[in-house]
Amino acid sequence: MEIKEIPISKIRGSLCKMRLEKDYEAEEMLASIEERGVMDPIKVKKVADGYLLFAGHRRLQGARELGLQTVRAEIWEGIEDREAALMGFVENINRKDFTRLEEGYAYQKLVKDYGYGVDELVKPCGKSQTRIYALITLVKNLTANMRRAIIEGKMTSGHGEWLLKIEDPERRQRLFQMVLAGEADLNDIKYEVYRQKPDEEKNDQELQLDIIEDICEEDPTIRALWNRGIEVRRSRKGLKITLDVDGPHDLIYKLSILANPVKEKINLFERFEDKR
């Protein structure tokens, strides 16, 4: 391996381009290259008619945008494509702006295109098998619209991971549209996943929360105030009730509206549990 300036025009292609999402540090990097040049060499593999890039895609893109004719590079000869691709990925994986979606696509490429097993990636990448499998599953199962939404910054890969856990396709699609419209957040999706849990697997506290939610949805008096004076939201952590009140008397009134049917149902639940 040697380091020297090479003509940018001799770089024929790339073994493992990884950037999918917006590069928020592009302007800062361009300013640095314009002032000092490419200080950290890109990595290329020597081929018959030039070079193949395997690390430093952003630096090369910046050099091209600035009209540079040459770039500083590490030149590797005799290295296999699969080894070079892994080396390029490992260089990128721990960058703070390297996203989970990009990480997942890189794992998928290394497995699918270069024949690596997941167990072979654990040590060089410094990541667990669980994480690698999870991210490969993410990129494999995301719909085109979900993938586009993540790339465009309309939701995160975390939203995508939890949406894929929704078993009902129609409910999953509805939640996806709610996320895009700003009507649902990550906790809402997590709660929908939790709601798939069979009742027999829930503890007493979880069942009581279910009862309270059912009351808030079904009781006509509470529904009359829904989205005007009372808002009830669920998450895996519990129940969040928001009250808009005009004063102390209004507060007492709305609390009683919530408390009375809840007490009645909880008492019924406790009596039922005592008999079981």
φ, ψ of residue 50 to 5 degrees: the values are 155, -125
How many CA atoms lie within 13 Å of 219's alpha carbon, on the beta-carbon side? Answer: 21
Amino acid 234: pLDDT: 62
Quickly list H helices, the chain. 26-36, 57-65, 81-93, 100-112, 118-125, 129-141, 144-151, 157-163, 169-180, 186-195, 204-218, 220-225, 248-275
Tokens of 6: 């090479």
Amino acid 119: pLDDT: 93
Amino acid 144: pLDDT: 92
Assigned architecture for domain 2-138? Alpha-Beta Complex (3.90)
Q: Look up residue 228 and give its amino acid.
A: R
Amino acid 172: pLDDT: 92
Amino acid 34: pLDDT: 72
Helix, strand, or coil here: 31? helix
The full set of domain ranges for the chain reads 2-138, 142-195, 199-275
Q: How far apart are CA 220 and CA 225, in angstroms?
A: 9
pTM confidence score: 0.67
Radius of gyration of the chain (CA): 27
Q: Look up residue 171 and give its amino acid.
A: R
C-beta atoms surrounding 176 within 10 Å: 21
Instruction: Please say whether the beta carbons of 60 and 25 come within 8 A.
Output: no
Measured at the CA of 40, the angle between CA 151 and CA 63, to 5 degrees, comes to: 60
Tokens of 55: 């690390």
Q: How far apart are CA 58 and CA 38, in angstroms?
A: 11
pLDDT tens series, the chain, 276 aa? 788 888 989 998 888 776 665 555 667 777 777 777 677 788 999 988 899 898 888 888 888 888 889 888 999 988 898 899 998 888 877 776 678 888 898 899 899 989 999 999 999 999 999 999 999 999 999 999 999 999 888 999 899 999 999 998 998 999 999 999 988 888 888 888 887 877 777 777 777 777 777 777 777 777 776 656 777 666 556 667 778 888 888 888 878 877 777 677 666 555 545 555
Query: What letter would DSSP give residue 235?
Result: E
pLDDT tens for residues 91-118? 877 776 678 888 898 899 899 989 999 9
Instruction: Please say whether the beta carbons of 209 and 220 come within 8 A.
Output: no
Q: How far apart are CA 156 and CA 180, in angstroms?
A: 11
Q: How far apart are CA 163 and CA 115, in angstroms?
A: 29
Q: Residue written as tokens 């004076």?
A: 229
